[in-house]
Amino acid sequence: GGAAMAAVRDVEIDPEGTFKYILVRLQRPGGEEQRDIVRGTKAAEFHNHIFEKVNPEMEKLGYECKCLGGGKIDHNSKDKKIRVFGLSTGYGKADHSVTVEILKKVYTDYEITWSDDKK
C-alpha cells in the first residue's frame, strides 16, 4: 500500500509562469492511509480540468481523490520563488499553507510564500 502511494509525486506543476492549481487528497477506499498532492498547469483553463486529468490516473492506482480546493501558483524558476494565492470558483480556496508545506518538500531551495490575494 504505502509503496504505491509513495510512487505518486507530491507535486506536479509547470516549471514557469502563473497557472491554476488544485490540492488533492488521496485515500485508499476504506483505508486510513491518505496524503495530499499538488497539481497545477497552464494547460488548464479551469480548475476542474486539472482534477479531470488527475482523478482517473489515481483511480487506476486504487485511490479515491477529493479536491480540497484550488488557487493559483506563480512559479519563478529563475529567482527560485513560488507564490501561492487566489482561489477556485468551483472548488473553493485550498488551504495555501498546506500547499506551501508540500511545495517545500520538493522545492527545498526556494522562497515559497502564500496569501489570500486574488491576484
Predicted pLDDT at 31: 84
Predicted pLDDT at 1: 53
Q: Is 75 a catalytic residue?
A: no
Mean pLDDT, rounded, of the chain: 94
Confirm if 96 and 72 have CB atoms less than 8 A apart: no
Q: In what order do the strands lie in the sheet with 111-114?
A: 11-13, 34-41, 17-27, 64-76, 81-85, 111-114
Q: Residue 13: beta bridge partners?
A: 40
Q: How many Å apart are CA 15 and CA 37, to the nearest integer?
A: 17
Q: What is the pLDDT of residues 48-86, one digit of tens each?
A: 999 999 999 999 999 999 999 999 999 999 999 999 999
- Residue 30's pLDDT band, with cuts at 50, 70 and 90, is confident
Q: What are the chain's domains?
A: 11-115 (3.50.20.20)
Which one from 47, 49, 75, 96 is the annotated catalytic residue? 47
Predicted pLDDT at 114: 98
Q: Which residues are annotated as a binding site?
A: 20
Q: Which residues are annotated as a binding site for substrate?
A: 20
pLDDT above 80: residue 6: no
